[in-house]
Amino acid sequence: MTDTAATIPADLVARGLLDTPDVQALTPVTETFRMRITPQMLAAIGAPDDKIARQFIPDQRELTIRPEELADPIGDAAHAPAPGITHRYPDRVIFHVTQLCEVYCRFCFRREVVGDSGVLPPDKVAAALDYIRATPAIHEVILTGGDPLSLSPRRIAALTDALAAIPHVRLLRIHTRVPVVAPERISAEMLKALQRDSLTTWIVLHTNHAQELVPAAESAIGSIIGAGIPMLSQSVLLRGVNDDVDTLQGLFTSLLRLGVKPYYLHHCDLARGTSHFRTTIAAGRALMAALRGRISGTALPTYVLDIPGGFGKVPINADYFVPSDSTGTWQVQDPQGRWHIYQDPE
């Protein structure tokens, strides 16, 4: 495995993941949307067009910007009362502690800003913490970015110390790709920085394909869970990566086997230059309906859409219950697609 990340198309030629003539064509893509692929993910790519490569290697189709695509598709800026804060729901805030990631996903909904300005400066961290302290309704803080676990254990410890000292904050959620894409960062020092007696901490792992769960990633996940930190997962439904039942089943059952509860399957956001990744809502619903008949309910995530413009996240539910003409009478569909009648008791 190489020991440096790939950050420009030319870095991929020596690794056999790109042909030399492609470098010039892809340079405008990486000048518009940054590229970074960690050594761990470079090693996990089995072929130039496999399911991991498609997530990280630039594609000329990214320069096709559709009219409905947005620079801020989930509306972070519309709910920003303080630097680094998104406050969309009363009881929780997103705290953007860094704009750096270990990898830059080609479908990222924050692809316009990741890598722009690094770590949130100390004065803005202080202002964000002041806002959280002054808002007693906030019970949960969600660290995101960028990827918060790209920060040093020292910086993470400073954040967890500060949050643990706020009486009304009792839940900490950290959204990260690090245990999969840079598992070496999950050190004893990092685990210690995450553990605070007054905070219940959850790690939400972003992973989209079971091929990402290499032995080093499994070991990092085991270390987190072994330290008493529960884990959830979130994935993005991506055309050409995981938009088939077998692939999703393999991912979700692999995660559950490792002790990670599948939490969200996101419909791909309307980020600029990502239309080649998006499925239709109907296709996603059909996949979820097919999965329900094949895997345990504990392995099933909730399929969700972040409504464009900052209006919140909602489940995309299949219609298993359809009301009949008679009051209290329902048609119910089972996992095999058969319909049954259910009558509410009078």
* Residue 93, both tokens: 């805030």
Tokens of 6: 């790939």
Q: How many CB atoms neighbour CB 252 within 10 A?
A: 25
252 residue type, one letter:
F
CA-based angle 220:43:174, to the nearest 5?
35
Contact between residue 190 and residue 224 where contact means Cβ atoms under 8 Å apart: no
Among residues 11, 76, 147, 306, the one annotated as catalytic is 306
Decide: 248 and 278 in contact? Cβ < 8 Å: no
Q: Which member of 51, 92, 106, 173 is catalytic? A: 92
In angstroms, how far is CA 144 from the centroid of its own chain? 10
Active-site residue, 110 included:
yes
Q: Does the annotation mark 101 as catalytic? A: yes
> Known catalytic residue: 269?
yes
Choosing from 50, 89, 124, 196, the catalytic residue is: 89
Alpha-carbon gap, residue 187 to 190, rounded angstroms = 5
Alpha-carbon span 218 to 228, nearest angstrom: 16
What's the chain's Rg over C-alpha atoms? 21
Task: Compute the distance between CA of residue 120 and CA of residue 117 in angstroms, rounded to an integer.
Answer: 8
Residue among 51, 54, 105, 264 flagged as catalytic: 105
- Which residue in 110, 111, 173, 185 is the catalytic one? 110
76 is an active site residue: no
Tokens in use for 222?
């085991």
**What's the rounded Cα separation, in Å, for the pair 94 and 85?**
6
Instruction: Given the residues 170, 285, 313, 320, select the one marked as catalytic.
Output: 313
Give the active site residue among 34, 36, 54, 88.
88
**Catalytic residue (one of 36, 54, 101, 185):** 101
Catalytic residue of the set 173, 268, 269, 272:
269
Cβ count near 161 (within 10 Å): 12
CA dihedral 40, 53, 177, 266 (to 10 degrees): -160
Instruction: Indicate the SS3 state at residue 284.
Output: helix
List 11, 22, 108, 177, catalytic entry: 108
51 flagged as catalytic: no
- The residues carrying an active-site annotation are 88-89, 92, 101, 105, 108, 110, 269, 306, 313
